[in-house]
């Protein structure tokens, strides 16, 4: 019996190429697991059973690296032509994608068989997955807790073995947060590493990128090599391809890589004591293993950065609603979408062009600061999240404050901004570092290096210089091979 909890995408591909299993058997095992578990976990929003089985049965070309391997896409911009593309919003419940996204084109080119789309928060705006339309996604390790977001459905599907690998995306931590909460590996690649477009080539102004959640470092590396896009000439930020030689060289020299770590609070006092202890303990273990490890203090105004990030979110949401309104012939009204998205869109109407442009100056100055930092250090080690997953039902985003406001349109710019901060900051406190690397474009990876006293997963994050994925994969491989990963989350 195929059990994807113990069989990664690389092993699945190898077994198919060796004739040990067929693509049909691989896909059927995934679909059987979805049908068995999804009623309790709500991870998969759309299942393409007959289509996927038919594709698997007809597959004859086994040369692509992941030929015949089942995969789930995320229902947030990973468009699959003539299939649902709802962004977990009832507003788009009947919407079908017109064309494939370029990222999905590359997934198909790599040989994967798409079996469905996973659940996410509405418009991928939250760090938990609990849209009013699609419902809450519980954690694969403990159903009383959230899986995280916005790639929560992907995390739970992977954690339960519905698939050996799950496509995801990250615009402010949306791969790394559920990886931390769910005990998985979550790489956010450098800006431009994977394909964007054609609907938007600068998703969230370049902050967002598509990739995957994985259960092994080799899957992360192999997926990255397959998905680093060189075929889409119009794509901005495109990077030179990584080579296998670069990955090998980085692995061989991993002990020479310099590690800085910090537990500084960039946003108020967000970090839990358990998060601080996890970083300190890992740093001591690495130092004892012979790594060059140094504690550092960084002067970064997270409160200013998060205000700028919300400005970007607001303008992008306002643009999206304007485009949807034009397509429908009338503008979106409150009640058609959740209050979080509607409030951001209302706030976005007040942002002048000079202020929006100024946000990207802020991002670039931050990127320059980290570029200088990485002349001395190869990595920065931090908590991936400030604490472990919140319990389902626990207040994380103050939607009650939004509900109390009967009419957003009567609020001025300052009042809207204050309401956004009051409502959304409690969620941001859960991941006070993650979004920073979306602004700078650097790669960062969450690794399952800690387990809380309650038995919950807790990830630590390594970030590197832009285009530094080879180094990140090298340190991740070292930690995995030397049994630093926490594989057992039983309480």
**Helix/strand/coil (H, E, C) string of 268-307?**
CCCCCHHHHHHHHHHHHHHHHCCCEEEECCCCCCHHHHHH
H or E element at residue 185: strand 185-188
CA dihedral 195, 197, 198, 201 (to 10 degrees): -130
Q: How far is CA 41 from CA 37, 328, 396, in A?
A: 6, 33, 20
Would you give the DSSP letter of residue 393?
T
Report how far residue 29's alpha carbon sits from residue 161's, in angstroms, rounded to the nearest whole number.
Answer: 10
**CA neighbor of 450 nearest in space, from 481, 416, 477, 487:** 487
Report how far residue 107's alpha carbon sits from residue 103's, in angstroms, rounded to the nearest whole number.
Answer: 6
Which residues, including other chains, have CB under 8 Å from residue 289's CB and lie 6 or more apart?
Answer: 482
Residue 285: alpha-carbon gap to chain centroid: 27
Three-state DSSP class for 470? helix
CB 25 within 8 A of CB 3: no
174 part of the active site: yes
Residue 411: both structure tokens together: 């609020």
Q: How far is CA 491 from CA 228, 282, 452, in A?
A: 39, 22, 10
- Residue 349: how many CB atoms within 10 A of its CB? 14
Q: Which of 131, 169, 174, 180 is catalytic?
A: 174
Q: Which of 88, 129, 150, 463 is catalytic?
A: 150
**CA neighbor of 69 nearest in space, from 140, 1, 6, 17:** 17
β-strands 258-261, 379-383 pairing = parallel
Residue 273: both structure tokens together: 């004591």
Residue 337: alpha-carbon gap to chain centroid: 23
Q: Which of 28, 74, 126, 188 is catalytic?
A: 74
Report how far residue 239's alpha carbon sits from residue 224's, in angstroms, rounded to the nearest whole number.
Answer: 13
Q: Which residue has the tokens 């990955």?
A: 247
Which residues, including other chains, have CB under 8 Å from residue 354's CB and lie 6 or more apart?
Answer: none
Report how far residue 386's alpha carbon sits from residue 275's, in angstroms, rounded to the nearest whole number.
Answer: 6
DSSP string, 320-361: HHHHHHHHHTS---TTSS-HHHHHHHHHHTT--HHHHHHHHH
Provide the residue count of the chain. Answer: 491
CB 222 within 8 A of CB 210: no
74 part of the active site: yes
Report how far residue 154's alpha carbon sits from residue 42's, in angstroms, rounded to the nearest whole number.
Answer: 11
Active site positions, annotated: 74, 150, 174
């Amino acid at each position: 019996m195929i059990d994807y909890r113990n069989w990664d995408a690389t092993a699945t591909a190898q077994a198919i190429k060796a004739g040990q299993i067929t693509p049909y058997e691989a896909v059927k095992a995934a679909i059987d697991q979805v049908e068995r578990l999804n009623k309790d976990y709500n991870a998969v929003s759309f299942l393409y059973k007959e289509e996927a089985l038919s594709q698997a049965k007809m597959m004859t070309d086994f040369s692509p690296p992941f030929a015949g391997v089942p995969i789930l896409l995320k229902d947030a911009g990973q468009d699959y032509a003539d299939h649902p593309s709802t962004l977990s919003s009832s507003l788009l419940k009947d919407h079908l994608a017109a064309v494939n996204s370029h990222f999905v084109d590359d997934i198909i080119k790599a040989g994967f068989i798409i079996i469905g789309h996973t659940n996410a928060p509405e418009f991928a705006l939250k760090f938990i997955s609990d849209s009013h339309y699609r419902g809450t996604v519980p954690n694969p390790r403990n159903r009383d807790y959230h899986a995280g977001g916005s790639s929560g459905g992907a995390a739970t599907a992977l954690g339960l073995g519905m698939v050996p690998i799950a496509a995801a995306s990250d615009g402010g931590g949306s791969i790394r947060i559920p990886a931390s909460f769910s005990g998985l590996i979550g790489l956010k690649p450098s800006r431009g590493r994977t394909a964007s477009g054609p609907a938007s080539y600068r998703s969230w102004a370049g902050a967002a990128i598509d990739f995957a959640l994985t259960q092994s470092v080799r899957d992360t590396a192999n997926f990255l090599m397959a998905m680093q896009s060189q075929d889409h000439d119009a794509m901005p930020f495109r990077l030179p391809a990584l080579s296998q030689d670069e990955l090998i060289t980085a692995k061989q020299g991993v002990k020479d890589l310099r590690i800085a770590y910090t537990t500084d609070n960039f946003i108020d006092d967000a970090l839990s004591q358990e998060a601080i202890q996890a970083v300190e303990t890992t740093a001591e273990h690495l130092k004892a293993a012979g790594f060059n490890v140094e504690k550092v203090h960084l002067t970064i105004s997270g409160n200013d950065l998060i205000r700028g990030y919300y400005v970007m979110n607001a303008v992008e949401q306002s643009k999206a609603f304007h485009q949807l309104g034009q397509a429908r012939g009338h503008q979106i009204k409150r009640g058609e979408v959740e209050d979080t998205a509607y409030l951001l869109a209302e706030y976005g109407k007040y942002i002048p062009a000079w202020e929006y442009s100024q946000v990207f100056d802020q991002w670039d100055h931050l990127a320059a600061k980290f570029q200088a930092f990485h002349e001395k250090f190869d990595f920065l080690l931090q908590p991936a999240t400030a604490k472990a997953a919140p319990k389902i039902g626990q207040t994380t985003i103050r939607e009650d404050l939004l509900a109390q406001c009967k009419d957003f349109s009567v609020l001025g710019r300052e009042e809207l901004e204050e309401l956004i901060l009051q409502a959304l900051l409690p969620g941001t406190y859960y991941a006070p570092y993650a979004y920073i690397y979306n602004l700078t474009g650097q790669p960062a990876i969450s690794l399952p290096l800690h387990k809380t006293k309650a038995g919950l997963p807790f990830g630590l994050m390594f970030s590197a210089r832009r285009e530094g994925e080879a180094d990140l994969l090298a340190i991740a491989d070292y930690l995995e091979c030397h049994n630093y990963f926490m594989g057992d989350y039983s309480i």
